[in-house]
Amino acid sequence: MIPQSTRRRRKQAAESPQAGGDAGRRPVLTIRVDFGPPGSLGPGKIRLMELISKHGSISAAGKEMGMSYRRAWLLVDDINQMFRAPLVEKQTGGSGGGGARLSKLGRDVVGRYRAIEGAAATASAADLRALKASLAAPPSDRDSQDA
């Protein structure tokens, strides 16, 4: 048995970095934008780009997401081919295969995705509260009443 709290943290980490410490208490909205043939943008690609910006490295970013080196590089190629210019700039040379960083367009795309996420959460707050009020009580709520 995996404790409820651990499962919740894992779910948060996998799905959205905005969840913070209270995903059990409020609904977390995740956005996917499908552009048709060029591809789609969802939480995984955005999170990978944010971690590339943080670590300056594609492989370190992929590692933090529990992704193989190969998978992270393929995702970056996919992201770069979607847009009119690369979002992730690979710097060749140096030890460890060189670093990577976001281009200006890359930072713009990440910012707009997070803005869409924020606007969506604000615009739907009342409906989200109503959905939450219709949920079954989770086992963890009953546990804390017992404690």
* Residues forming the site for a copy of itself (CB under 8 A): 4, 7-8, 11, 15-16, 19, 23-25, 27-38, 41, 81-84, 105, 108-109, 112-113, 115-116, 119-120, 122-124, 127-128, 130-132, 134-140
What is the smallest separation between the CB atom of 59 and a copy of itself, expressed in angstroms?
A: 25
Identity of the residue, 65 or 128, whose beta carbon is nearer to a copy of itself in the bound complex = 128
Here the tokens at position 59 are 């492989």
What is the smallest separation between the CB atom of 91 and a copy of itself, expressed in angstroms?
A: 22
Return the ∠ at Cα 64 (arms to 77 and 21), rounded to 5°.
120
Identity of the residue, 22 or 96, whose beta carbon is nearer to a copy of itself in the bound complex = 22
CA separation, residue 4 to residues 90, 138, 146 (Å): 40, 10, 15
Q: Which of 66, 48, 68 has the alpha carbon at shortest distance from 57?
A: 48
Identity of the residue, 70 or 125, whose beta carbon is nearer to a copy of itself in the bound complex = 125
In the chain the first and final C-alpha atoms are separated, in Å, by: 20
What is the smallest separation between the CB atom of 25 and a copy of itself, expressed in angstroms?
A: 7
Identity of the residue, 74 or 119, whose beta carbon is nearer to a copy of itself in the bound complex = 119
- For residues 42 and 125, the answer to whether their CB atoms sit within 8 Å is no
